[in-house]
Amino acid sequence: MSDTMAHKVAVLGTGKIGEALLSGMIRGGWAPADLLVTARRPERAEELRTRHGVAAVSNAEAAKTADTLILTVKPQDMDSLLRELAAHLPADRLVISGAAGIPTAFFEDRLAAGTPVVRVMTNTPALVDEAMSVISAGSHATEAHLAHAEEIFNGVGKTLRVPESQQDAATALSGSGPAYFYFLVEAMTDAGILLGLPRDKAHDLIVQAAIGAAVMLRDSGEHPVKLRENVTSPAGTTINAIRELEKHGVRAALIAALEAARDRSRELASGT
């Protein structure tokens, strides 16, 4: 962390994403003493304390004492969380939102004038340090604020800056992205059962195919079309499968699915 930036970070509303981030920060070398969490239920606060050795405090206390606040409540809970924070939060604190859909202006309207806000859409592979966290600046966030957010989220994977106008699309691709791959693995494991394989073997085969394909996509420098062509032998097996995928409109289904996710992200901005 740069010397000029604040150093106490609070994760507010520490559920699945908040805890994934918290655990990644600790793995990445953040001292638990520099981290605070808040939770709605006392049992959850206790669980986080025991599991990570961090202090669990009230939202008001976090607002008063942390230099950077990472808000990881659901979009629908953000308005009431901001109402709790507003009176206690000085305008020089960095507010990072991890929520889908909610624009930085939503925070700026509800917090002290000039509060720097950074919007981040991460994803659950943060748990294994393979997240993609997509980062945009609000109107008062400076380069230093963006760099600070990147420093935090680089600890759990990669980061990418985009203009805020692209965040709903990024949420559809990247925030929700892992779910599509899990869905495909589920479906292909079912196919393995149909073909007579035991479930555990079918699962292992598909997961390893997914890992192998992902590493090739990342490391080979080849276009996905080329990689697929390399698998698709003339009059072979793969082309028969591809024909079925095209016949069933899987490409169009994926395009429509991601468009629906993008639209839902836009809707969340209105609190629905």
Ligand X SMILES: O=C(O)[C@@H]1CCC=N1
- Rounded Cα–Cα distance for residues 149 and 190 (Å): 41
- Does position 133 interact with ligand X (CB under 6 A)? The reply is no
What DSSP element (H or E) covers 133?
Answer: strand 131-137
From ligand NAI, ligand X, none, interface partner of 48 (C-beta below 5 to 8 A by class): none
- Does position 175 interact with ligand NAI (CB under 6 A)? The reply is yes
Q: Is the dihedral of CA 257, 263, 264, 266 positive or negative?
A: positive
- Annotated binding-site residue? 123: no
- Rounded Cα–Cα distance for residues 119 and 56 (Å): 24
- Does position 21 interact with ligand NAI (CB under 6 A)? The reply is no
Cα 110–chain centre separation: 24
Partners of 134 in the β-ladder: 121, 160
Tell me, residue by residue from 63 to 102, as one string, x for binding to ligand X by CB under 6 A and - for no binding.
Answer: -------------------------------------x--
Q: Report the side by side order of strands in the sheet with 9-12.
A: 55-56, 35-38, 9-12, 68-71, 94-97, 117-121, 131-137, 157-161
**Residue whose tokens read 């981030």:** 21
- Does position 171 interact with ligand X (CB under 6 A)? The reply is yes
From ligand NAI, ligand X, none, interface partner of 67 (C-beta below 5 to 8 A by class): none
Shortest distance, position 76 Cβ to ligand NAI, whole Å: 8
Choice between 10 and 100, CB closer to ligand X: 100
Output the CA–CA distances (angstroms, integers) from residue 121 to 74, 86, 97, 268, in the order listed. Answer: 12, 23, 8, 14
Tell me the residue length of the chain: 272
- Does position 116 interact with ligand X (CB under 6 A)? The reply is no
- Does position 54 interact with ligand X (CB under 6 A)? The reply is no
Which range touches ligand X (CB under 6 A), out of 31-39, 107-115, 170-178, 196-204? 170-178
Q: Which of 15, 23, 47, 65 binds ligand NAI (CB under 6 A)?
A: 15
Binding site, annotated residues: 59
Binding site, annotated residues for NADPH: 59
Residues that bind ligand NAI (CB under 6 A): 12-13, 15-18, 38-40, 59, 72-75, 77, 80-81, 98-100, 121-124, 175
